[in-house]
């Protein structure tokens, strides 16, 4: 009969639980990650203390500081914007448009785009802002 010597202990490290935990963390971060849609314009949104988060799938119109209007990643004239918005709003169940205008955009350009959005059939208009920095 063979007896074990007290000085010889067999140590095994089971890494299966560690692999399971790492796999669950990867799944958690993959599911909880959100992807933002950007227009390609570098905008400086105005600040507001009444900012709320919106859902990602939105009908958004971007107006740059120079007055350039971008919709669905494409620079459009005012006439093109009106017709494209009308088509998109007809197919959409929520007729809410988000206006993302740069802080330096001339007021007249923003008002002209708001008129186009309303004329295209939008039921509601939201002006995007960024949250004020808390002191």
Give pLDDT tens digits along the chain (135 positions): 666 666 666 778 888 889 999 999 999 888 887 665 555 556 666 776 665 555 446 788 889 888 888 888 888 888 888 888 888 888 888 888 888 888 888 888 889 999 988 888 888 888 887 777 666
Integer Cα distance of 129 and 100 in angstroms? 8
List 101's β-bridge partners, or say none: 63
Tell me 94's DSSP state: S
Domains of the chain: 47-131 (3.30.420.270)
pTM: 0.56
Q: How many other CB atoms are there within 10 angstroms of residue 39's CB atom? A: 19
Q: How many other CB atoms are there within 10 angstroms of residue 105's CB atom? A: 20
Phi-psi region of 38 (alpha: psi -120 to 50; beta: other; left: phi over 0): beta
């Amino acid at each position: 009969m063979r007896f074990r010597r007290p000085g010889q202990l067999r140590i095994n490290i089971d890494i299966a639980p560690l692999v399971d935990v790492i796999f669950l963390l990867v799944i958690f971060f993959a599911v909880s990650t959100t992807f933002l849609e950007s227009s390609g314009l570098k905008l400086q949104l105005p600040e507001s203390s009444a900012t709320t988060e919106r859902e990602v799938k939105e009908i958004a119109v971007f107006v740059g500081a120079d007055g350039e209007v971008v919709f669905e990643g494409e620079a459009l004239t005012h006439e093109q914007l009106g017709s494209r918005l009308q088509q998109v709003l007809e197919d959409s169940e929520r007729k809410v448009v988000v206006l993302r205008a740069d802080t330096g955009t001339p007021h007249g350009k923003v008002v002209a785009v708001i008129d186009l959005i309303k004329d295209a059939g939008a039921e509601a208009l939201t002006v995007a802002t960024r949250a004020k920095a808390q002191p």
